[in-house]
Amino acid sequence: GAVVSQHPSWVICKSGTSVKIECRSLDFQATTMFWYRQFPKQSLMLMATSNEGSKATYEQGVEKDKFLINHASLTLSTLTVTSAHPEDSSFYICSAYGESQPQHFGDGTRLSIL
Amino acid sequence: GESVGLHLPTLSVQEGDNSIINCAYSNSASDYFIWYKQESGKGPQFIIDIRSNMDKRQGQRVTVLLNKTVKHLSLQIAATQPGDSAVYFCAVSYNTDKLIFGTGTRLQVFP
C-alpha cells in the first residue's frame, strides 16, 4: 500500500519552456502533498506544501510564480516549472500522505534544461 | 528552528555485520522521527518511524533508537546485506506535517 507515482521520470527540454510534473497517490487519498528538490549528493529541500483545494504554501526563497503547484484532487498534485532555465535543472520529488504519517515518496523526476 | 545532521557522510561495513547510522537534531520539541532509504535515481523509501513518546522501535532487521535527552536518533541494521547499500536520511518534524531532512549517510556494504 501507500504507493506514490510520479511522472515523467525524466525530461529534457530547451530553456524557456515550461514543464509539468505529476504526482499521484495510487491507493490512498492524499490530503497533503509535498514537493522537494534535490541536488546531486545533497539532501531533500522542501519547496512547498500542497493541500487539496487550497493554495500551496511555499518555503522561504522558493518563487511561487516560477514553480506553480496545483492540487486539484485528493490523488493528484502537479508542479509546473515555468520558463525553465538551466539553473532549474534538478531532481524533483513529491511525497504524499493521507490521514496519518508517514510521508511516502514518488521516484522523482530528473529535469534537465538545455 | 530545526536542523538535522548526521555524524558520518559514509559508512562502510562488511556483509553480515550490523550497521549503525546516527542522526542529531536540534529542536527538543521535535516529536516525530523517520528513517528513509534512498537508492540512486529513486525517491526515498520509508524504513521505520518513531514518535517522541517511545525510545525504541523494531522492524524487520531494523531498530530505531531515540534519545531525547541528547537529541540523538540512530538506525541499526542487523546482518547488513548488499541490498542495504544506499543513502540513509533521518527526517524530523515538530507538531507539523513538514519534515526536515538530515544530510544523509551513504552506506556501502562490501563482501
In this predicted model, what pLDDT tens digit does every residue of A18-28 receive, in sequence order?
Answer: 999 999 999 88
Say yes or no: A101 contacts chain B, CB-CB below 8 A.
yes
At B109, give phi and psi (nearest 5°).
-110, 120
For chain B, positions 57-86, list CB contacts with chain A under 8 A.
none
Q: Pick from A53, A47, A55: which is nearest to A21 by CA? A: A47
Residue B86 C-alpha, separation from nearest chain A C-alpha, in angstroms: 12
> What pLDDT is stored for residue A24 in this prediction?
95
CA distance B10 to B108: 7
In this predicted model, what pLDDT tens digit does every residue of A53-65 receive, in sequence order?
Answer: 888 999 999 999 9
Q: Are B11 and B19 in contact (CB under 8 A)?
A: yes
For chain B, positions 5-24, list CB contacts with chain A under 8 A.
none
> What pLDDT is stored for residue B60 in this prediction?
93
Q: Pick from B60, B63, B74, B69: which is nearest to B21 by CA? A: B74
Q: How confident is the model at residue A77 (pLDDT cuts 50, 70, 90)?
A: very high
Residue carrying C-alpha cell 528538490? A37
Q: At a CB cut-off of 8 Å and minimum separation 6, what does A72 contact?
A: A52, A53, A78
Q: Establish, for the pair of chains A and B, how many residue pairs have beta carbons separated by less than 8 Å.
A: 52
Residue B7 C-alpha, separation from nearest chain A C-alpha, in angstroms: 14
Q: If you average pLDDT over residues B28-45, what whole number do you get?
A: 94
Is it the case that residue A81 has pLDDT exceeding 90?
yes
Residue of B nearest to A1 (CA): B46
Q: How confident is the model at residue A40 (pLDDT cuts 50, 70, 90)?
A: confident
Q: If you average pLDDT over residues A16-38, what whole number do you get?
A: 94
Is it the case that residue B3 has pLDDT exceeding 70?
no
Q: How many CB atoms lie within 10 A of CB B71?
A: 16
